[in-house]
Amino acid sequence: MPELPEVETTLRLVRSGLVGRTIRGAQVEWVRTLGGIGTDEFAQGVTGATIESATRRAKYIRLDLKQPGKGSRGQDGGSILIHLRMSGRLLLGRQGTQAPRWRRVSLELDRGMLHFVDVRKFGRFVWTTTPDADLAHLGPEPLSDAFTPSWLYEALRQRKRHMKPLLLDQAFLAGLGNIYVDEALHQAGLHPLTAACRVSKARAQRLHGVIREILEQAIEREGSSFDGFYVTPEGNPGAYQHQFQVYGRQGQPCGTCGRALIKILVAQRGTHLCTRCQPAPRKLPSNR
Ligand SMILES: [Zn+2]
């Protein structure tokens, strides 16, 4: 499932083809991708708008729209929020060429096409007039200045939840998913069932550092491709899967200590770890 590095990679590769373009029309093949509004409402909302900016927030790609209106600057045209979920992809294409397989939504631009391709159909391509409110629940961006070692330590100190579900919680910290949480906990030497409030200041500092480092390296390698779904908009796989230290490596020796890595279930998610490098917490809290 695409996480921050895969979404950031996608954004970087489509941005220049989108910003400044005007939307001439929309084609919708799978209406549920629109997240609750109908094809006509979506098409009316976006048609005629110019894409002012393309940014990322957590695992969302956000396209801010401007409709031509009074004055030279036009008027707010709402935003498109794109969530790739399991298998969503953005593709830039040429007009008049055949739509790609599994395309759910396409925007016809004044130059080219934007296709949202999604085999599993869980992805969303939503037009909204309240993007800020829609994204307000999200925690800080791990690569932003707001994410500091002291913020992380204080935030962990106030929570009793297990580390794994807490780091997966987008309201706590934005953008991480199953892969990068497992990798970060391993590199920080933290067991996934450690209660957040028991993480020492030094350990929180280390976790902060490895989260940043892992995400930056994963972006540099254009994300991780391991399940056949994620490829960049240019059709290339990412390369960070070759750096995995624990994810999907159960049964193989830990690169640090040599003990066989294991896979357990934590909060319904397959979780990969080394029980020597990530010792189990002595006493588990009753709630998480
Ligand atoms: Zn180990």
**Residues identified as active-site:** 2-3, 59, 269
By the CB criterion, residues less than 5 angstroms from ion ligand 1 are 254, 256-257, 274, 276-277
Distance between Cα 259 and ligand 1 center (Å): 6
Residues 6+ apart with CB under 8 A from 31: 38, 39
Q: Which CATH architecture has domain 4-134?
A: Alpha-Beta Barrel (3.20)
Domain boundaries, the chain: 4-134, 149-273
Q: What is the 3-state secondary structure (H, E, C) of 160-187?
A: CCEHHHHHHCCCCCCCCCHHHHHHHHHH
pLDDT given for residue 220 in this prediction? 97
- Could you tell me the fold of the domain covering 149-273? Helicase, Ruva Protein; domain 3 (1.10.8)
Distance (angstroms) between ligand 1 centre and the Cα of 71 equals 63
Angle between the N-to-C axes of helices 149-157 and 201-220, in degrees from 0 to 180, rounded to the nearest 10: 120
> DSSP secondary-structure letter at 242?
G
How far is residue 177's CA from residue 206's CA, in Å, rounded to a whole number? 19
pLDDT of the residue at 286: 57
CA of 273 to the centre of ligand 1 (A): 8
Same CATH fold, 149-273 and 4-134?
A: no
Q: What is the DSSP string of 60-72?
A: EEEEEEEE--SST
Burial of 96 (0-12, 13-18, 19+ CB in 10 A): exposed
| Distance of CA 191 from the midpoint of ligand 1 (Å) | 11
d(CA 112, CA 92): 7
Contact 92, 100 (CB under 8 A): no
- What is the model's pLDDT at position 71? 66
pLDDT of residue 285: 54
Say how many Å lie between the CA of residue 152 and the centre of ligand 1. Answer: 24
Rounded distance between C-alpha atoms, residue 113 and residue 119, angstroms:
19
For the chain, 288 residues long, give each residue's pLDDT as a single digit of tens.
899 999 999 999 999 999 999 999 999 999 999 999 999 999 999 999 999 999 999 999 999 999 998 666 789 999 999 999 999 999 999 988 888 999 999 999 999 999 999 999 999 999 999 999 999 999 999 999 999 999 999 999 999 999 999 999 999 999 999 999 999 999 999 999 999 999 999 999 999 999 999 999 999 999 999 877 899 999 999 999 999 999 999 999 999 999 999 999 999 999 999 999 999 998 655 554
Q: What was the pLDDT predicted at 270? A: 97
pLDDT of residue 239: 95
Residue 229 is predicted with a pLDDT of 83
CA distance 88 to 80: 15
Q: In angstroms, what is the span from residue 187 Cα to ligand 1's centroid?
A: 10
Q: Compute the distance between CA of residue 231 and CA of residue 187 in angstroms, rounded to an integer.
A: 26
